[in-house]
Amino acid sequence: MNNRRQFLRAASGAALLGAAAVSRAAQGAVPEAPLQTKPETQGPLAPPSGRPYNPVVTINGWTLPWRMNNGWKEFHLVAEPVRRQIAPGMTAHLWGYNGQSPGPTIECVEGDKVRIFVTNKLPEHTTIHWHGILLPNGMDGVGGLTQPQIPVGKTFVYEFEMKKSGTFMYHPHADEMVQMAMGMMGFFVVHPKNPNFMKVDRDFVFLINAFDIKPGAATPTVNTMLDFNLWCWNSRAFPGIDPFVVRTRDRVRIRFGNLTMTNHPIHMHGYDFEVTGTDGGWVPKSARWPEVSVDVAVGQMRAFEFDAIYPGDWAIHCHKSHHTMNPMGHGVPTMIGVDHRGVAEKIMKLVPDYMVMGERGMADMGEMEMPLPDNTLPMMTGRGPFGPLEMGGMFSVVKVRDGLARNDYKDPGWFQHPPGTVSREWNGPLPPAPAAPAAQRPRAASTPERELRAVKPAPGHKH
């Protein structure tokens, strides 16, 4: 932190170049840039001043503090290399903001005047685009088109007024393929001016991102187009994704944005919900319909809401099955039904750690402990109250519980099922097979048909 303060004091003594011309007020001391390196979900940041709002909770993330300066809300983002724990046992070398990838969530209110300082501590130039936000063209953050690039070691400032509430994000528009592949992105929430409009009790946010990090490596392969092996929410993969902790009877909103290279059908168990927001704005009640899955395309944001009336541990995940797995061998052949025990015995004499897998499916992978390269996650992992969960990637749990306090987001542990409500082995007699409906029974041949079938021509008979 001392080095950061020295750097910022030096930067604040120089004139600041903005994405557009800025006032003298913007050329004063730059607010300190808070730092966060913990991978756990941080609690909501209640607004210390200004218009009231119900703050969001960023899954495995945090909200950026701000200060008021002559009617402006001032934030400070630092673009820099970071180390991010993807899950226990694996840490990636990424690029992000203020110590994390994704960067901290920015929260403000419709009508606020926002000033965001951006200091570049990357090894190359950068910008920030405010995705979905209505603002002056010169603040849009497209390097070379609407502003000069932010050089290494320089601080730029963005100023704009929040014209509408909604769900947005930020990311670079400079060397975009590299910088976004390295994890540079963040959530941006603008709360309604009227705190009773679209009011909920718990409001969760996360960004969907993906990396290609080879087994044993720590830095993403930035030229990958489709063949990613780490599917993440907020740069975390299961079992590193924290649960969504909810108290019964809460009105709950879950917002997410997609900055991967493919779409994601996000599915939640146990509830139907309604999509209430996109990055274009709030969805009026007349346009909503009940859903249990919502697809989010590349570059889109979605928000859905439900009333938490069913206690339990309810899975939430991407419904593309290979997105709920961690690093896997894309070239591994399907061996289901192939008995290769004899071959395996010979191989094991030469390669003691060799393991047979796949001849009965891949479920054994969730339970076995097999040697892995350093800094590599198993393909399927995690344990629940009944054994291995056999999951990875984009998977978490919505934990709905009685008796939680209003701002209690601590993991309550596994759900205690009431007696008789868990699926169990059946040891009694099986019910008799039902008789087939009359319409499905074989039709008896008519008398003429039976007579014709009984007539056989004599040997040598000619027609």
Residue 326's pLDDT band (cuts 50, 70, 90): confident
CB within 8 Å of 463: residues ≥ 6 apart: 457
Secondary structure (DSSP) of 270-296: S--EEEEEETTEEPPGGG--EESEEEE
- Predicted confidence (pLDDT) at residue 49 exceeds the cutoff of 90: no
3-state secondary structure of 5: helix
CA dihedral 83, 43, 413, 388 (to 10 degrees): -30
What is the arrangement of strands in the sheet containing 293-296, beginning at the earlier edge strand? 244-247, 395-401, 312-318, 264-268, 293-296
Tens digit of pLDDT for each residue in 80-114? 999 999 999 999 999 999 999 999 999 999 999 99
Residue 45: CA count within 13 A, CB half-sphere: 18
Tens digit of pLDDT for each residue in 217-272? 999 999 998 889 999 999 999 999 999 999 999 999 999 999 999 999 999 999 99
Residue type, 436: A
DSSP 439: G
What are 197's two structure tokens? 């409009």
- Residue entry with tokens 């004091």: 9
Tens digit of pLDDT for each residue in 279-297? 999 999 999 999 999 999 9
Report the sign of the C-alpha dihedral through residues 296, 298, 302, 308, in that order: positive
Percentage, residues of the chain above pLDDT 90: 71
Give the model's pLDDT for residue 26.
47
Q: Are 43 and 55 in contact (CB under 8 A)?
A: no
- Predicted confidence (pLDDT) at residue 328 exceeds the cutoff of 80: no
Question: What is the distance, to the nearest Å, from the Cα of residue 9 to the centroid of all Cα atoms in its chain?
Answer: 36
Residue 180's pLDDT band (cuts 50, 70, 90): very high
Give the model's pLDDT for residue 372.
72
- Predicted confidence (pLDDT) at residue 440 exceeds the cutoff of 80: no
Q: Are 94 and 135 in contact (CB under 8 A)?
A: no
Tens digit of pLDDT for each residue in 147-161? 999 999 999 999 999
Give the model's pLDDT for residue 463.
45
Question: What is the distance, to the nearest Å, from the Cα of residue 182 to the centroid of all Cα atoms in its chain?
Answer: 16
Q: Please, what is the average pLDDT of the chain?
A: 87
How do beta strands 273-278 and 244-247 pair? Answer: unpaired
- Predicted confidence (pLDDT) at residue 458 exceeds the cutoff of 60: no
pTM to 2 decimal places:
0.83
Q: Look at residues 231, 194, 238 and name the one whose alpha carbon lies nearest to residue 209.
A: 231
- Predicted confidence (pLDDT) at residue 361 exceeds the cutoff of 50: no
Residues 370-383 have a mean pLDDT of 81
Give the model's pLDDT for residue 435.
84
Kindly state the greatest CA–CA separation across the chain. Answer: 116
CB within 8 Å of 315: residues ≥ 6 apart: 268, 269, 395, 396, 397, 398
What is the arrangement of strands in the sheet containing 129-131, beginning at the earlier edge strand? 106-109, 186-191, 166-171, 129-131
Flag the least confident range among 240-254, 311-325, 378-392: 378-392
Distance CA 53, CA 199 (A): 9
Q: Are 97 and 64 in contact (CB under 8 A)?
A: no
3-state secondary structure of 21: coil
Distance CA 209, CA 36 (A): 19
Domain ranges of the chain: 2-307
Q: Write out the H or E segment, with its range, that includes residue 450.
A: helix 447-454
Residue type, 42: Q
- Residue entry with tokens 């990055």: 279
- Dump strand ranges (E) for 308-394: 312-318, 381-384, 387-391
What are 299's two structure tokens? 């570059």
Give the model's pLDDT for residue 444.
61
Q: If you classify domain 2-307 with CATH, what class do you get? A: mainly beta
- Predicted confidence (pLDDT) at residue 178 exceeds the cutoff of 90: yes
Distance CA 37, CA 82 (A): 9
- Predicted confidence (pLDDT) at residue 10 exceeds the cutoff of 50: no
Phi–psi pair at 296, nearest 5 degrees:
-125, 120
- Predicted confidence (pLDDT) at residue 21 exceeds the cutoff of 80: no
Secondary structure (DSSP) of 376-429: ---SSEEEETTEEEEE-BSEEEEEEETT--TT--S---S--PPTT-S-----SP
Distance CA 234, CA 396 (A): 12
Give the model's pLDDT for residue 264.
97
Distance CA 64, CA 45 (A): 8
Distance CA 324, CA 266 (A): 11
How do beta strands 251-258 and 202-211 pair? Answer: parallel
Distance CA 306, CA 288 (A): 12
